[in-house]
């Protein structure tokens, strides 16, 4: 039985940008040809939307901002346009930590501005950031009742600590569960992820149980 044809590989140094699942399923197969102005507009928006301030974006981000699936076949089809933009000085290639990046030059920005003045087709589809926001909002709407119940349970547990001599480790654990994961650059996802991790701190649960056992019974009980 003949084997299925293998998909062309991406170039060395290219990496798949973050994302996947329902977000990636909304991307279309690459439709050739596309205008140079559309490629420049996608590179411009990808650079403006990235969290870091350094210039340069991955090629997969350019495809995502054009609304296309990023794979080896798509890269091969877009290669003539990329080479032409490189030769014209509208794009430059650089690297950071072994990753190939594409930089929109000042000449490229002038070319993009001129295309927009001439009303060339440079309208981009929904951005990856907006797609992510839209899906997060829809997921939150679907799960809001679960979030509310989980948060209420966690807050009840927190309020119960005021009547105990709880160890500081338990308070720290509760703070982490409310705060959620995240990092110093993007911030946490706060309560949704925090409440999803409620009751996942074994050390905190053990200390709470011991604190409740040590709590004196009221007279007459």
DSSP string, 126-165: --HHHHHHHHHHHHHHHHHHHHHHHHHHHHHHHHHHTTTT
- Per residue in 32-84, pLDDT (tens digit) is 789 999 999 999 999 999 887 788 999 999 999 999 999 999 999 999 999 99
Residue 31 lies in a domain: yes
Can you tell me the distance from the alpha carbon of 34 to that of 54, in angstroms, rounded to the nearest whole number? Answer: 27
Q: Check residue 192 and give its pLDDT.
A: 42
Q: Which residues contact 50 (CB under 8 A, 6 or more apart)?
A: 57, 61
In this prediction, residue 90 carries a pLDDT of 97
Q: Look at residue 15 and tell me if it is in a domain.
A: no
**Count of alpha carbons within 13 Å of 179, Cβ hemisphere only?**
11
In total, how many domains does the chain have? 2
Q: How confident is the model at residue 117 (pLDDT cuts 50, 70, 90)?
A: very high
Name the pLDDT band for 211 (thresholds 50, 70, 90): low
- Note the pTM of the prediction, 2 decimals: 0.58
Q: Does 182 have pLDDT greater than 70?
A: no
Please check whether residue 5 lies inside any domain of the structure: no
pLDDT band (50, 70, 90) for residue 94: very high
Identify the domain boundary among 99, 125, 151: 125
Asked if residue 33 has a cis previous peptide bond (ω within 30° of 0), the answer is: yes
Asked whether the CA dihedral 39, 20, 71, 56 is positive or negative, the reply is: positive
Residues 116 and 151 reside in one and the same domain: no
Do 153 and 81 sit in the same domain of this protein? Answer: no
Q: Which of 125, 149, 182 is the last residue of a domain?
A: 125
Residue 65: which of 133, 14, 117, 17 has the closest Cα?
17
Domain, as residue range, for 96: 22-125
- CATH label of the domain that carries residue 114: 1.10.10.10
Query: Are 95 and 187 in the same domain?
Result: no
């Amino acid at each position: 039985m003949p084997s299925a044809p293998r998909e062309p590989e991406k170039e060395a140094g290219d990496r798949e940008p973050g994302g996947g699942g329902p977000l990636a399923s909304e991307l279309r197969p690459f439709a050739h040809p596309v205008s140079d102005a559309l490629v420049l507009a996608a590179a411009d928006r990808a650079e403006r939307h990235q969290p870091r301030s350094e210039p340069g974006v991955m090629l997969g981000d350019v495809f995502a901002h054009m609304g296309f699936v990023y794979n080896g076949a798509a890269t091969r089809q877009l290669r003539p346009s990329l080479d032409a933009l490189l030769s014209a000085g509208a794009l430059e290639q650089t690297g950071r930590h072994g990753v190939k990046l594409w930089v929109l030059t000042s000449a490229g920005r002038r070319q993009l501005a001129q295309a927009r003045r001439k009303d060339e087709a440079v309208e981009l589809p929904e951005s990856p950031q907006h797609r992510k926001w839209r899906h997060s909002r829809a997921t939150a709407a679907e799960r809001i009742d679960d979030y509310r119940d989980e948060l209420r349970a966690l807050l009840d547990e927190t309020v119960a600590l005021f009547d105990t001599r709880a160890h500081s480790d338990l308070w720290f654990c509760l703070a982490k569960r409310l705060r959620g994961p995240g990092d110093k650059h993007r911030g946490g996802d706060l309560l949704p992820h925090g409440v999803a991790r409620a009751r996942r701190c074994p050390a905190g649960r053990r200390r709470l149980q011991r604190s409740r056992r040590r709590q004196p019974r009221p007279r007459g009980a």
